[in-house]
Chains A and B, each alone.
Chain A
Amino acid sequence: MKTIETKLAPKFTCRGVSVHYGEFRALHDIDIDIADRSVTALIGPSGCGKSTLLRVFNRMNETIPDARTRGTVLMDGTDIYAPSIDPVLLRTRVGMVFQKPAPFPRSVYDNVAYGPRLHGLAQARGELKRLVEKSLRRAGLWEEVKDRLSLPAPSLSIGQQQRLVLARALAIDPDVILMDEPASSLDPIATARLEALIEELKKRYCIIIVTHSMAQAARISDKTAFLHKGALIEYDQTDRIFTNPSDTRTQDYITGRFG
């Protein structure tokens, strides 16, 4: 079954990726290809290594002192763990929305403008303002905060903060967006809006999303990876995973028998 995205060269190619936290092996020998212009969902029980795998793609695991990553990760055919790659630059191309929203202790506006200011993305007058508005609109937060852009971001509700950090990531216009349970605190309307956004974003970006909602994974993703105890158990087209999984553990997980 050949689909359009498997014909394209993959955005990421992981071979034999393992991550250790000290002595603890959080990810074991992962081989996975992530297609560009598509949504890949990572599912699995809590603690199975979904967030760890997500952080492999933007080298965020390196900020954890005793974390070690092994194996090969290619992005557009380039080894992103090669010594010549600057992780700081990599992260401007691979954006990330964390599991726990952590807005900076600044205003809503300054939070979204943080990345663009850092990288000098908006030079002309008024351009930054437009960029901030555009990012907030895409994240579905604009209507709620347009009159209070100078409000300190930490005083937003958790659901609003989750969309704010999404807007913050969108503002630097990365090629890849990693989302770690971006809808965990969103109401159904905001979730639907987020899913619509993901649908739109995938026309241009590569999106990898961690979710605990089977329904959400089924709705929005093209391919789904099921992780269990640090191993990649099954990785296939989403409809196949949800209708006819080949591993009983996947079957058990998606039907809610464990995890």
Chain B
Amino acid sequence: MSDPVPFYMLVIVGALMVGAYRIVYGRAARLVVPNLPGPSAARAQPRHHARLAAALTGLVGVGIYLTGLSLRGPIPSAGGDGLWLMALIVIPALPIALSIANVRPDFAARTHVERMAETGLMLLALVALLTTFGIVASLVFEATLFFRDVSIIEFLFGTQWSPQTPIRAGGTGQSGAFGAVPVFAGTFFITLIAMAVAGPVGLMVAIYLSEYASPRTRAIAKPAIEVLAGIPTVVYGFFALITVGPAIRDAAAWLGADVATQSSLAAGLVMGVMIIPLVSSLSDDVISAVPQSLRDGSTALGATKSETLTRVVFRSALPGIIGAFLLAISRAIGETMIVVMAAGRAANLSANPFDAVTTVTVQIVALLTGDQVFDSPRTLAAFALGLVLFVITLLLNIGALAVVNRYRIRFE
């Protein structure tokens, strides 16, 4: 039962495919094609016949492999993997024979290859789609379990988040308070601060790079800025914790206020710096892609460089710029390490940037680490958080996409 999965069989399938390709190619190359007038299947080249044969063989081979794999459990290995192996080697002879028989001038191999490519691509797209769907389904499933214990109203609108401490003694056992509002508020507040830094700065950098910098400056500055994106987030967190946080605290103390080292401001500022290259690099690409003819048209009408920039270039690049911002926002929402280190874990509902806050991702990590029964409300709450975060980012994306599409359809 615990036999290793015989991956070597896939190599056999591969070899069979190569064989099929070769044989059929040889046959098709020798095929005398009458020069028919008009569109004709005979226009298929040997490679079309051969590709079709290889694909068919591969399909049959993988099919047998998967069938064998699934039968291995229920039917205890009668003759080891021998039967399976035999099937794998013998049955593909059928598609190969079929392909050889199909090497005829009137067989539309080319059309079939085209259809095959289309189907193949569709299947791959389907895999991506199904994966997403599967993830969402598991989130929904676990979240449903959670909402059996904790009311959805309390979760969505409650302002008390303390999953560790049981508040109703003898109630639902170990559960604490699961009001997720402070957690989401923390996420969006930090994202807001980060975007307030990365949005304007990133855009200015992009405009400078694409419009004003000499090609040489650009060649040096652009990769240099992109390095910012390559720094591990834990390093940023470190930086926020030991440099930015204390600096904010000291600045506040100098002004006579007493604030903690951990604050949403520290986390947001550092996160903003981290995502500057995301905004600047993508925006620079789309701004540079605006055709020169548009700029010339504006210049020839007596517009200055900055007028051309704001009235024509920026507008044409808007869909791409929105895309860049969206990516940056997603990155900020998903960021965990910086927040853990710089903003703390306390679920405060506060719009004061000097307070410590927590975010959804930080809480998910906190809920899922440590000794926990897997189906306790505390653990399941992580899935509920994930689900709501997913829905929110989805809505955000749909909204932005709608804006982008409006401009695309109207102006391209």
Binding site for B on A (CB under 8 A): 58, 60, 63, 65, 88-89, 91-92, 95-96, 98, 100, 102-106, 114-115, 118-119, 152, 154, 165, 168-169, 172
Contact = CB atoms under 8 A, between A and B. Distances in A.
A105 B316 contact: yes
Interface in B310-345: 311-312, 315-316
Given A105-B411, A118-B307, A172 B312 contact: no
A118 B411 contact: no
Contacts, number: 72
Given A105-B316, A106-B411, A169 B301 contact: yes
B300 A98 contact: yes
B352 interface: no
Contacts of A58: 300
A115 B304 CA distance: 12
A102 B297 CA distance: 7
B91 to A, nearest CB: 56
A172 B301 contact: yes
A98 B410 contact: no
A114 B302 contact: no
Nearest to A111: B297
Given A114-B311, A118-B307, A154-B411, A102 B294 contact: yes
A164 B134 CA distance: 52
Contacts of A63: 292, 295-296, 299
B412 interface: yes
B312 A91 contact: no
Chain B's interface size range is 20 to 34
A154 B316 CA distance: 12
A164 to B, nearest CB: 11
Contact of A152 (B299, B302, B312, B411): B411
Given A105-B294, A154-B411, 5 more contacts: A60-B300, A63-B296, A105-B407, A114-B298, A118-B302
Nearest to A89: B302
A96 B300 contact: yes
B297 A98 contact: yes
A207 B395 CA distance: 55
A98 B296 contact: yes
A205 B411 CA distance: 33
Interface string B29-66: 00000000000000000000000000000000000000
Contacts of A119: 302
A193 B293 CA distance: 26
A168 B311 CA distance: 15
B97 interface: no
A152 B298 contact: no
Contact of B302 (A88, A98, A102, A104): A88
Given A114-B311, A152-B410, A104 B297 contact: yes
Contacts of A168: 297, 301
A100 B302 contact: no
B291 interface: yes
Given A114-B311, A152-B410, A98 B299 contact: no
A60 B300 CA distance: 7
Contacts of A95: 300-301
B301 A100 contact: no
A176 B215 CA distance: 34
A102 B299 contact: no
10 contacts: A63-B292, A89-B302, A92-B301, A102-B291, A104-B297, A104-B315, A106-B315, A115-B302, A152-B410, A172-B301
Nearest to A102: B293
Contacts of A106: 315, 411
B196 interface: no
Contacts of A104: 294, 297-298, 311-312, 315-316
B296 A88 contact: no
A251 B289 CA distance: 43
Contacts of A92: 301-302
B71 interface: no
A102 B411 contact: no
B301 A102 contact: no
B303 interface: yes
